[in-house]
């Protein structure tokens, strides 16, 4: 058995099988594009989450160990910590700290749960931003997540956000020299330039984070067209957010369950301004995650995110500068949803694929996305991870 890398422990497959009850169905936490995740208990009582990476990644032992070593050195309050790994023949497993309170997706969208209050939503937005800012701007080498979504934001018992699955894209990439030809992510969250060309930068994560902010703000899934006609959440927001910032009225944006004074307008302005800036079409016009952290904390004037226009001062000016019609320079000349549909059709030409809900991209060689939700929630999930080869 290897001696371990960095701050991680090298486990044998038998040790992890024992910890998870033989990877039993009862301990299954989630199933996603990277593999299955099981809850486990190590000798001594420590709870962990054990992720079995899919076979066939093409990675040798040295390459896998090098990537694990990089991930193991990343420590931040708002990032899920890697505590160990296992190499057993062709098997590759990662062992993470166990985060007990499921995912943001679960708490926003599962039926029968209490409504997440405004203060908790803002706390989650800020925590996730801090974790991403650390990955982008303080890690060496920097880490681009590639699959930011509500299902990858885990929550502890105090509803503090912890970003999961960072670094996994590289662990499962078949060919690292052709990153630009391999797109990984979830429909509804993908940055347009990444989805169309495979061009990947930190600003691709910023876009996905912006979509997640829209989820927190509205309580709606990204692919939900039932509330927005033919437009998905992003297209609707590109028109609605600039108007709201211009007139200072956020009632039509906020989750209906929070309306009637159950949110803070000043904090709403911060969140809306960050979301509007993050989902801009042009990657270069999106802010850095550290700027979003400062804006959410009230430490950055919001006009620095919105071409010098202060929220509540001049709706017309705000709409024209920010592409309020959805067709300005900020947001490109077409519908984000339509662009994703074109890419979906190009990637998945076979008629055997079908959508579970309007606007979804069906599976392309992956089972449904992983998250710490129960099995019924997994069956209800609409987002789909997908993979495109040239």
Q: Which residue is it, tokens 């300005």?
A: 328
Q: What angle is formed at CA 183 by the lines to CA 287 and CA 326, rounded to 5 degrees?
A: 45
| Strand pairing class (182-186; 153-155) | unpaired
Q: How far is CA 101 from CA 128, 157, 375, in A?
A: 15, 6, 15
> Is 252 in the active site?
no
What are the helix (H) ranges across the chain? 13-19, 61-72, 104-109, 118-137, 168-171, 192-197, 202-218, 233-247, 265-278, 289-296, 315-322, 336-347, 375-380
b/e sequence 144-163, b meaning 16+ C-beta within 10 Å? bbbbbbbbbbbbeeebbbbb
Whether 277 and 342 have beta carbons less than 8 Å apart is answered as no
Beta strand 91-97 pairing with 35-41: unpaired
DSSP track, 162-180: EE--TTHHHHT-S-GGGGG
Q: Residue 250: name the closest of 271, 223, 278, 224 by CA.
A: 271
Find where tokens 């052709």 sit.
Answer: 178
Exposure on the CB side of residue 22, measured as CA atoms within 13 A = 2
> Could you give the CA distance from residue 299 to residue 239 in angstroms, rounded to a whole number?
26
Is 170 flagged in the annotation as binding?
A: no
Chain length of the chain: 390
The answer to whether the beta carbons of residues 345 and 359 sit under 8 Å apart is no
Which has the closest alpha carbon to 247: 267, 262, 269, 227?
Answer: 269
CA distance 302 to 260: 24
The whole-angstrom separation of Cα 309 and Cα 65 is 49
Catalytic-labelled residue, pool 88, 117, 147, 251: 147
Give CA–CA dist 381/269, Å, rounded: 30
Q: From the annotation, which residues make up the binding site for ATP?
A: 51
Q: From the annotation, which residues make up the binding site?
A: 51
Catalytic residues: 147
């Amino acid at each position: 058995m290897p001696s371990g890398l960095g701050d991680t422990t090298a486990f044998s497959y038998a040790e992890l099988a024992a910890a998870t009850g033989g990877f039993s169905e009862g301990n299954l936490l989630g199933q996603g594009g990277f593999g299955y995740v099981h809850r486990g208990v190590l000798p001594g009582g420590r709870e962990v989450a054990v992720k079995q990476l899919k076979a066939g990644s093409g990675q040798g032992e040295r390459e896998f160990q090098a990537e694990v070593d990089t991930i193991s050195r990343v420590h931040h309050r708002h990032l899920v910590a890697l505590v160990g790994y296992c190499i057993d023949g062709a098997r590759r497993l990662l062992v993470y700290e166990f985060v007990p309170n499921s995912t943001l997706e679960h708490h926003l969208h599962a039926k029968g749960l209490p409504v997440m209050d405004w203060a908790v939503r803002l706390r989650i937005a800020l925590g996730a931003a801090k974790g991403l800012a650390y990955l982008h701007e303080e890690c060496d080498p920097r880490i681009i997540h590639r699959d930011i979504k509500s299902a990858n934001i885990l929550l502890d018992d105090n509803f503090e956000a912890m970003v999961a699955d960072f670094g996994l894209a590289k662990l499962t990439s078949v060919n690292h020299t052709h990153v630009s030809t391999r797109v990984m992510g979830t429909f509804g969250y993908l940055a347009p330039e990444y989805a169309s060309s495979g061009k990947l930068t930190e600003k691709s994560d910023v876009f996905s984070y912006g979509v997640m902010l829209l989820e927190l703000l509205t309580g709606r899934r990204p692919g939900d067209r039932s509330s927005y006609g033919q437009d998905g959440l992003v297209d609707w927001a590109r028109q609605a957010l600039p108007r709201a910032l211009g007139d200072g009225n956020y009632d039509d944006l906020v989750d209906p369950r929070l309306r009637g004074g159950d949110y803070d307008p000043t904090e709403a302005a911060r969140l809306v301004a960050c979301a509007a800036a993050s989902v801009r079409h042009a990657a270069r016009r999106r802010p850095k995650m550290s700027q979003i952290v400062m804006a959410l904390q009230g430490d950055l004037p919001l006009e620095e995110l919105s071409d010098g226009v202060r929220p509540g001062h001049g709706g017309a000016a705000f709409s024209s500068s920010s592409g309020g019609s959805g067709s300005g320079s900020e947001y490109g000349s077409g519908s984000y949803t339509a662009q994703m549909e074109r890419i979906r059709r190009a990637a998945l030409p076979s008629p055997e694929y079908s959508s579970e809900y309007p606007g979804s991209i069906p599976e392309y060689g992956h089972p449904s996305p992983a998250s710490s939700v129960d099995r019924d929630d997994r069956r209800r999930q609409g987002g789909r991870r997908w993979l495109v080869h040239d």
